[in-house]
Amino acid sequence: MQEFIKGTFFPEGTLLRIDDVSVNLDLDRLTKFLELIRLKYQKVTILLAVSPMVFNMDKWEPNNESTRERVFPAILNAMSDHRVYFNVEKIGIPVWLNDVAEKYECILATHGLIHVDHRLLTKDLQELSVISSASLVSTRIFVPPFNKYNDDTVAICNKNKIELVRWEDGWTHLGYHPFSDNGKKYYVHLHDYPGEKLFSFFQ
């Protein structure tokens, strides 16, 4: 019988979270990545954090394969007004999402309607983002964009019985710490590792 971490949706053991899962993601790269994980680490829990509203990266950076999977242009990080993240151009849940989650035994989570620091949103807007996106993805788990949240986020998740994934619970980025099935929590964005570089983590 599988043991679960008290007070959470997660089984005990190592967790690997893939953020920014969206209609921009390359399905072939994702499935190859998941196959490598499952080949070596059958018991690792995989969490897919889904972003339903994203930018059209072909418009922002045409012919740039290395940025095509991003959910927003990196240049937005330099801008002071968080509302620039509202100007999304594509909406949808990947048609392959549930099939992939079932085949590779992944848990689904929402990453919010829009990839924006939720601390900068009013409570009403946070509530819209968290609840609506959770409904779209059919999940009760919320991974805040940029790992940022505040007391409003906590209250919204508690009220709606949604698990808030908190960076402070021990998450570490796969790019800075080599992966090991050691009971720890890792997360990664596939777009940070274009081409074959992505698969070096598990080869």
Q: How confident is the model at residue 3 (pLDDT cuts 50, 70, 90)?
A: very low
Give me the domains of the chain, ranges plus CATH numbers: 21-201 (3.20.20)
The pLDDT-based confidence of 8 (bands split at 50, 70, 90) is low
pLDDT of residue 10 exceeding 90: no
Contact 171, 144 (CB under 8 A): no
Q: What is the pLDDT at residue 203?
A: 61
pLDDT score of 103 more than 60: yes
Residue 6 has what pLDDT?
Answer: 46
pLDDT for the residue 157: 97
Residue 67 token pair? 């940025």
Residue 59 has pLDDT above 60, yes or no: yes
pLDDT at residue 188 tops 80: yes
pLDDT of 197 above 80: yes
Interatomic CA distance for residues 1 and 84, integer angstroms: 47
| Nearest to 134, CA basis, from 93, 186, 85, 91 | 93
Residue 139 tokens read as 């999940």
Lookup: tokens for 60? 């922002």
Tens of pLDDT, residues 144-173: 999 999 999 999 999 999 999 999 999 999
